[in-house]
Chain A
């Protein structure tokens, strides 16, 4: 009497540990929110304050969701402290703060999530982890405003749906947790984050696995790995990545422990990397491919970086910048910049002449609108509508003091056929540009 029917698949509710709401794990994220709010409130620079506010909200939201899932006050305390230190302690230079905080939160979600999923977690844990992961991947939506229903769907509805699908997947037999974890990683990497295609694929996978589990476990494993990978086909990522993700997913569910562990590690790395590449400050359109490209591409080394961490603005009044270099051999020049008051400039307009002097030769090239730089506020709706030349892909994005949009930096890179022992670099703003147009330089570097 009272014996459980072991032939039926376990339900979501049966034998699951209850999630108890405890106060202590919530304390560190709450205190983090207070600390960052105070820091933002008393920061004189409006742009920096806006960045702090957004990332503070993001960090508190992610950690709050993790508090629900993990309920580990010590680990959450450590992550909260690290996030606070990064937000408060790092200088407001370029994309430094946003990159570090997003990386930290992504790592926290992966590590604490893996810990929470060890022992047949309840539905609430899946929902909380899905919400936390979505916040990390799509946190910029908080800046863009949650006044539109579509944004609410992205931030709330999609993660909830993903959590439900994953919980259903986790309840499919003994392999359930592994399948759910693998499917989650594959689907998330396809987004990154929970997109409609990814969530639909997860739901499909959950149903397919439930059907297949009773007949053939290997087919169930394949369904759990392949269906979420198919979601990648609906994104901007290259097609080969879908095949690679599918392969990794299958390997992650392989019987061999080391093969499965290595595949899971690779998936986790790809997820974290793609999430970083998609989040502020990089916001790459094909983030997984961008991350892999950065990982395996030819190593670059910087020789000189005469402009770094502060802006140098070339205007009509001060059009020229001369920089001394070390004289070591270089193969490339990189310039990060944006334009101000350049909306009306057509594509190809010359912005500046760049000359690199060396004892045995020189290099000269022009910076052009639409190829090497563009208006900083190109994404702002009123500016985007008026642009005479579409902006090139942004190198990095940042949060300006006013408005709910992102500002952009653009990168121009010129390679030299033969090494050049560069001693001087001169940038000169084109005198034909309108008086009000300025070229703001954030990084000028030479490299090999």
Chain B
């Protein structure tokens, strides 16, 4: 950045601070915060516009921006419900348009000049976008999951210069950034003098501490946004350093990595995943440069190699499974520098030994709360590992492709890299142990977090694979598929930015987005979406079909690729129509009572909402006394046999029974046999008329609160 850029940025920061202090309240607090902070990203956009005259803001863009600002200030006059999110969407579209123009100008420049020092704009542009969204996301999605604990530790480091959290818990420091009451987490070590330490590694809080001290939660999140932007910029450099990758291919990989979920979502989250992804990018970039110099090192290379490798396990112990194979690759690539090889090996082993020793002393276990058996996939059924692996990519709530469908192209891209034996194939292989460990975990989905959390560290490698694929000419089918995937990705990204809470989902087989949509149509849409949390036929069929389509599309070089984009968008829209038609026409074979299309009254989710590691339990809907649930199945015949999987929860001896009804006609009456055991009961066959609702109802106790209930997991329907 030039001096003018820096001065302008400083002025923008001052302006933002002044606006935050003096701007009168209007509309939603999130909207006000976004408007107050706007000078900062706009200053970055202006700096980029000066470097790219062809992409300077046009009169129409400035005019539209001012219009949006006026609308934000006068939003209440619109008289619209949800005015603030609407304005956020309009603002995001304006931002997207501006970003697109700048990005296209950068692409043209990149085609002319691939030198690394010209890559600064490829960091600034994502940073501007992330900062523009930061206040909105922060206001609507306060720190959650592990985030408050990282902030607590950052607070302790910034204020007390120690890692003892006992005083932070006592003084309830967490009230400044958490809606939920914070207590020490399971596994947090306790010192002999009553000190409370965090089970989380201190590297991220150490990085956060100065930014937290300067700007609180916003400052901490701004750091993460900066790290994410840096990761994007270095990814471009790493892509350009790959043999066979053109400027066009590198640009597309950069654009996907920087501006699509999951990074677009995770860039504001205080997790270790974003810094870990940056570390991986730096290692891959350094390796690519070593290959280019045939293993000859330059001054400073040892830092570029050692620091990111050391950072990975210091961010999170499980990332040792990434760091170790990458370290091996690095060491084997340093054949011409024996001294550096030895130094790296010794340093890495010393680091690992120190970590394990510290863990042993603090936790009594070198792997903290984990065990070696957890890392031995041979002990686990292969189906579970496959399910976790499929889920990481395709689960409709937690998978990468579900969060951003354009990442589907990473599969044919990775296969291309492996088939051609590109140097990147070694990095792909290096992630195998980590991915195997994650896929075999019960909590492969990342717990209470946005999608693909545990996989984010692998994202740079996928992006670089796509750089290879995107360097090849595209046929019409490829273009059409890409257009459809880009459209879907853009919509999902917009939804994730506007309603950040939607990216967090309980591991119950559903998702927030499908809950919002599915409940409207009185039909089971979820049965067509793959879920690794609650497996069904779609869990395997949909990914296979998607991958097959992607492979065919990227291999076939059909002529006349022009206007294929229109076909792609049309296919996407037609796909929605087909989904609805299928949901209302294909016979219902199973009903999961916790799904959004089931009308429920008085029911509760089972097990209870915030239970840890909920996939240990069979999920279902709990019908306490006086509750009911019903759904309208699509018939596949005139007769149906019902098979219920259910259990009962009893807290007293009051008689309790479950009625099964077709409309208002009673079909069956179930009384529990043995409380606590899951039972499978077959009922029928019954005559069935189309349009009839299948209902389940428990009688209400007289004058007493409900103490007992039925839990129904699923109902299978066999039609004749």
Contacts and interface: CB of A to CB of B under 8 A. Distances in A.
Interface string B57-85: 00110010001001001101111111000
A302 B27 contact: yes
Contacts of A309: 81-82
16 contacts: A28-B569, A28-B570, A31-B573, A34-B577, A35-B573, A35-B577, A38-B580, A44-B522, A77-B487, A77-B569, A81-B490, A88-B517, A96-B82, A294-B77, A300-B77, A396-B79
A136 B574 CA distance: 24
A99 B80 contact: yes
Contact of A24 (B74, B563, B581): B563
A85 B491 contact: yes
A447 B76 contact: yes
Judged by DSSP, the binding face of A is helix
Interface in B561-607: 563, 565-574, 576-577, 580-581, 583-584
Contacts of A380: none
Contacts of A297: 74, 77
B81 A88 contact: no
A22 interface: yes
A164 to B, nearest CB: 28
A34 B566 contact: no
Contacts of B572: 31, 81
Contacts of A269: 63, 67
A2 interface: no
B25 A301 contact: yes
Contacts of B576: 35, 38-39, 84, 88
Interface in A31-54: 31-32, 34-35, 37-39, 41-44
Contact of A80 (B517, B522, B523, B569): B569
A90 B683 CA distance: 40
Interface in B460-505: 483, 487, 490-491, 495
Contact of A73 (B24, B26, B76, B563): B563
A93 B81 CA distance: 7
Contacts, number: 136
Contact of B79 (A31, A42, A395): A395
Interface in B307-354: none
Contacts of B581: 38, 42
Given A77-B565, A269-B63, A300-B77, A42 B580 contact: yes
Interface in A363-412: 395-396, 411
Given A31-B574, A34-B574, A301-B24, 13 more contacts: A34-B573, A35-B573, A42-B581, A43-B521, A44-B522, A77-B483, A77-B570, A81-B491, A95-B79, A96-B82, A265-B63, A299-B73, A299-B77
Judged by DSSP, the binding face of B is helix
A299 B573 contact: no
Interface residues of B, number: 47
B477 to A, nearest CB: 15
Q: Which 8 A-B pairs have the closest CB atoms?
A: A73-B566, A77-B569, A24-B563, A31-B573, A27-B570, A31-B570, A38-B577, A24-B566
B117 interface: no
B487 A81 contact: yes
A76 B570 CA distance: 10
Nearest to A48: B520
Interface in A220-266: 261-262, 265
A93 B565 CA distance: 33
Interface string A58-87: 000000000000000110111011001100
A295 B573 contact: no
B104 interface: no
A198 interface: no
Interface in A154-191: none
B558 interface: no
Contacts of A77: 483, 487, 565-566, 568-570
